[in-house]
Amino acid sequence: MGKIYTVVHLESGILTYPSELGDIIPITIGECQGRLHIPIVPNHFENYDFSAIRLGPGLASPIEFIGYNEDEKPLWWGRACSSDMCEINRLGFIFHFNGPDQNYEIGNKILIDFGRWMKDFLSYVEYTTDRMISGRGYNNDIDQKARMPYLFNKDMDNGKLTNATHEPHVISASIVFPLQMKEQRVDSAIIKRFCNYCSDKQELKLEHELMLEARRALYCQDFRKAILDAATSAEVVLTQKCREAMIDFDGQLTEEILKKFTMLSGRYNLLGALNIKLPISQSEFNSALNTPRNKVIHGGFSPNIRNVEDAFKVSERFLAEFSPKIA
């Protein structure tokens, strides 16, 4: 049985608890089964006095990746930031195949689907941790970079890496996926759930994807787009709730009613008419979300960050009430 290895580098890593390190999670990419390897807690971690040192110790390599180098230097897997927080900067992936004739076949299957899987995984992490770092925009080149992972077979005698696909890649041990976030930690159970979503090709629900786009616009200080995306997210989830409330109606009647109660304000008013309890009052809905949205679209309004924050609070209340599951 052979193995294909690759490593993903996260510029600003995933924050987690020391107790969550060292996990190995089953995944499926390109219909090929593999394992995601999380780095290990550093040696003698319990003896570190974080009050006396500026930087914590580096995380240890997963066992399967010991001796795995880049440019003849050991890979940096992350750091222990404090006694209860670690930053993961690299993730290891291993896929198995049965015979030598499957090497290129399996490698290219993984190569085709790897970008989709990794993009979805990072979207789940980004959305859940709500990374809020001002002045650093989201990197829209992630799709292009994600299409080109480097996949290797490792010679167990000398650790030599050889290309595992027909693609004429330059041999390199990692690929960079930009990711920034504030100090919100995820545990291994959440990471496992995200891996399952991605392996099953479950994307973020549309309303949550739109809210993620709104947050990315906020990070880029595009406040107009942030409000419009947040409002669209709210309209999508309110429309779904309207349809759910009219499940027993004739299909044609449902569509006629929806045509009468159009756009964001119409959906809000329709839910009220259907006696659905709403988590936001009419006045707050109008002042924080609906009116700024209309002013941006029709009046060339230039919102400030406070306007965006108020709009986000309303949209996120609708999501929490009517669409709590993100996938």
Tens digit of pLDDT for each residue in 122-175? 888 888 876 532 222 223 333 333 334 456 555 544 445 455 554 433 333 344
- DSSP state string for 264-322: HHHHHHHHHHTT---SS-HHHHIIIIIHHHHHHHHH-----HHHHHHHHHHHHHHHHHH
Rounded CA-CA distance 298/261 in Å is 19
Rounded CA-CA distance 325/322 in Å is 9
Sheet strands (E) in the chain: 2-16, 24-29, 32-37, 69-70, 73-74, 78-82, 85-97, 152-154, 161-163, 175-177
Whole-prediction pTM value? 0.79
Q: Token pair of 228, please?
A: 């419009």
Q: Could you give the 3-state DSSP secondary structure of residue 117?
A: helix
Compare 239 and 152 and report the one with higher pLDDT: 239
The residue type of 141 is D
Q: What percentage of the chain's residues is helix, strand, coil (to nearest 5)?
A: 45, 20, 35
Tens digit of pLDDT for each residue in 100-129? 667 777 888 888 888 889 889 888 888 887
Rounded CA-CA distance 204/206 in Å is 6
